[in-house]
Amino acid sequence: MTDSYNADKIQVLEGLEAVRKRPGMYIGTTGPKGLHHLVFEVVDNSVDEALAGHCTEIEVILEPDGSVTVADNGRGIPTDIHPKTGKSALETVLTVLHAGGKFGSGGYKVSGGLHGVGVSVVNALSEWVQVTVWRNGQEFTQRYERGAPVSDLRQKRQGGDRRGTTVQFQPDAQIFTLSTEFEYGILAGRLRELAYLNAGLGITLRDRRGESEIQEAYRYDGGIREYVAYMNREKEPIHPDCIYVRGERDNVQVEVALQWCADTYNDNILGFANNIRTIDGGTHLEGLKAVLTRTMNNFARKLKKLKDNDANLGGENIREGLTAVISVKVPDPEFEGQTKTKLGNTEVRGIVDSFVGEVLSEYLEFHPAVATAIVEKAIQAFNAAEAARRARELVRRKSALESSTLPGKLADCSSRDPAESEIFIVEGDSAGGSAKQGRDRHYQAILPLRGKVLNIEKSEDSKIYKNAEIQALITGLGLGIRGEEFNVSQLRYHKIILLADADVDGAHIRTLLLTFFYRYQRELVDRGFIYIGCPPLYKVERGKNAQYLYSDRELQAHLGTLPANANYTIQRFKGLGEMMPQQLWDTTMNPETRTLKQISIDDAAEADRIFTVLMGDRVAPRREFIETYGSKLSLAELDI
């Protein structure tokens, strides 16, 4: 750790010209995800200060005018003149791409990616930015508009020893044309996650946009141990305390928390590198999985649960029921791909393996009852997998891409390019018939399902693979076997669209399907392959004009625009099967006119917990959830 943080620690790599022209290259999208990414880029700078030991509090404020403020009590961005640019270091960081304290060895030991890119990109994509720095007994302020400074760096002496940086910015509506409104829930999920990953760091979120201010404060002195406990609070842990590993070698910091639960058939392992969630895995997760498999097999033999000639337990058997968080801090992270979702540093694998193996073995030696319970659960999982082996082999044999082995009720498309192909999973044969007639056969496939889909949150593998509807999903989509590494090249369609009725039964079927995809092959959700189709609920005809409406609220709003004496007819679609093929195409399937909702997960821990509460075996957490949130529902909006 170094305290000499000043202008010559800010290295300049290139200019800022292209950001406004091609914002997607820098923030991925100009939709809601990119908009919220701006806030996280500024917050990540403050977290970098915390990682370096100089910041203990971060505050994010959603202002009434639509802007957002991020404040910290770090050292403050340097304001002295930068030797290369001739501008202040503050202006350099805000106006030059790839200028930041991460690139030189004197600024930050560990950083969440190339943070100097972030704050300059935020500046480029904002209508205005106001920066205030408190440093060395002075207060510095400067204002920018669309990336360019519109005032000089103003300096005045302040009383007291306040320090830190405040960045307030208004996203540019010329760039973010869909919306510049921040969603409280998206920000809250990521800020909570950051607080769990950085034990003792206080993060406060305030929303001043409504009539009364909303405020949440996050500080978790237990760090990722509290994170695992939060995810498992509606489950039945085999051991009450998390197994916790923390260590550092060759400047790589490793932190792991593990807890097995008796009442779940899935694992939930969240990996992070430098506070970035590694959705696509990486060497830290490979190391963790390898050491868990080796260590638990050793204990299975030590406890005489496996005989000498028995095969080893598989990794997926051992991880059944496991909730884990692994967080590594790497000085020079190698992320595969620009999205930073897979860690590539080979040295991390061995470091994780070594630390976790030592601590886990010691814990299990001192807690033989826990070791026995975990091993016995793994053996049960192994036996269940064996019982399902024939069904699995059937699935394997059917998973080839030739259409002759695909489910009989699948109406496939003629295209063999998964990137352009999409499949509609529809409820019932009548809806399937309309969809088959209304689709574009070149790139749209239809798979009708009969009845309620199996709730796999409550089901063992043997039951899952024997279920006809689940088999049709697995073979039709090319999903492979649960627990194995996801192979995107086997996926037959890159848009999987859930198309159910617009009523409460349709919502139930969508929920069961989402549970299936989340638990069976979660990467489909993480990578954005799952969508929800939005069929209309009403059709209002007035003369020769017809208007399709998608909710009761839309219907009332539309009726309010009609003259008091207007003659019109309202048709309520009870199901997709009532719609003519052409109507279904026009409203729900035509890419030019339809509305699709892409399923994404902003808060992985909360998503896992909610699936457990609402879809799991235990009734008490579900009753508590309904009692807590039921009062917030409007009875008029319930479909009973």
Q: Count the neighbouring beta carbons within 10 Å of the beta carbon of residue 304.
A: 7
**In the prediction, which pLDDT does 9 show?**
64
Residue 160 has pLDDT above 90, yes or no: no
Measure the CA–CA gap between 381 and 213, rounded to whole angstroms.
49
* Tens digit of each residue's pLDDT (9 = 90 or more) over 253-280: 999 999 999 988 889 999 999 998 888 8
* Angle made by CA atoms 169, 173, 176, in degrees to the nearest 5: 95
Beta strand 68-72 with 126-135 is unpaired
**At CA 166, angle to CA 160 and CA 171, rounded to 5?**
160
503 is catalytic: yes
Lowest-confidence region among 303-317, 318-332, 496-510, 609-623:
609-623
Among the ranges 11-25, 312-326, 473-487, which has the highest mean pLDDT value? Answer: 312-326
Q: Is 267 a catalytic residue?
A: no
Q: Which member of 57, 505, 554, 602 is catalytic?
A: 505
Mean pLDDT confidence for 589-614: 82
pLDDT at 119 over 70: yes
The residue annotated as part of the active site, out of 503, 523, 554, 603, is 503
Amino acid sitting at position 33: K
Mean pLDDT confidence for 461-472? 80
Q: Residue 398's pLDDT is what?
A: 46
Q: How confident is the model at residue 1 (pLDDT cuts 50, 70, 90)?
A: very low
The residue among 634 and 563 whose pLDDT is bigger is 563
Helix (H/G/I), strand (E/B), else coil: 302: helix
For residue 403, what pLDDT band results from cuts at 50, 70 and 90?
very low
395 or 347, higher pLDDT: 347
Which pLDDT band holds residue 611 (cuts at 50, 70, 90)?
Answer: confident
Are 138 and 156 a contacting pair, CB within 8 Å?
A: yes
- Specify whether the CB–CB gap between 342 and 278 falls below 8 A: yes
Does position 4 have pLDDT exceeding 70, yes or no?
no
Q: Which of 408, 438, 432, 593 is nearest to 499 (CA)?
A: 432
Q: In this predicted model, which residue has the larger pLDDT, 455 or 4?
A: 455
- The better pLDDT of the pair 310, 505 is held by 310
In this prediction, residue 110 carries a pLDDT of: 61
pLDDT band at 400 (very low <50, low <70, confident <90, very high): very low
Written as six digits, the tokens of 103 are: 């690139």
Q: Note whether 7-218 and 390-535+597-601 share their fold.
A: no
Residue 598, C-beta contacts closer than 8 angstroms, at least 6 positions apart: 528, 530, 531
Quick check: 104 pLDDT over 50?
no
Strand partners, 100: 11
CATH topology of domain 390-535+597-601: Rossmann fold (3.40.50)
Confidence label for 100 from pLDDT (cuts 50, 70 and 90): low
Q: What is the pLDDT of residue 13?
A: 42
Please state, for a pLDDT cut of 90, what percent of the chain lies above it: 46
pTM for this prediction = 0.72
Lowest-pLDDT range of 58-62, 137-141, 402-406, 460-464: 402-406
Q: Say what the pLDDT of residue 401 is.
A: 35
Out of 72, 207, 316, 427, the active site residue is 427
Mean pLDDT for all residues in the chain: 85
Decide which of 102 and 368 is more confident: 368
Least confident of 174-183, 237-246, 516-525, 600-609: 600-609
Question: For the chain, what are the domain ranges?
Answer: 7-218, 224-385, 390-535+597-601
Decide if domain 7-218 falls under CATH 3.30.565.10.
Answer: yes
| pLDDT: which is higher, 505 or 119 | 119
What is the reported pLDDT for 392? 53
Per-residue pLDDT of 37-80, as tens digits, reads 999 999 999 998 998 899 999 999 999 999 999 999 999 999 99
Q: Which CATH code, of 3.30.420.40, 3.30.230.10, 3.30.70.980, 3.30.70.270, is assigned to 224-385?
A: 3.30.230.10
For 500-545, how does the pLDDT look when each residue is reduced to its tens digit (9 = 90+)? 887 777 888 888 899 898 888 888 888 889 999 988 888 999 988 8
Q: Name the 3-class secondary structure at 271.
A: strand
pLDDT of 115 > 50? The answer is no
Position 12 pLDDT exceeds 60 = no
pLDDT more than 70, % of the chain: 87
The whole-number pLDDT of residue 172 equals 95
| 358 belongs to the catalytic site | no
pLDDT surpassing 90 at residue 422 = yes
Position 107 confidence tier, pLDDT thresholds 50, 70, 90: low
Quote the pLDDT of residue 616.
75
User: What pLDDT, on the 0 to 100 scale, is given for residue 484?
Assistant: 64
204-233 confidence digits (pLDDT tens): 999 999 999 999 999 999 999 999 999 998
* pLDDT higher than 80, residue 331: yes
d(CA 141, CA 132): 4
Please say whether the beta carbons of 198 and 275 come within 8 A.
Answer: yes
Residue 118 predicted with pLDDT over 90: no
Look at 305-319, 338-352, 450-464, 514-528 and tell me which has the smallest mean pLDDT: 450-464
Q: How far apart are CA 200 and CA 57, in angstroms?
A: 9
Residue 460 backbone zone (phi > 0: left; psi -120 to 50: alpha; other: beta): beta
Q: Is the pLDDT of residue 105 over 50?
A: no
* 213 is an active site residue: no
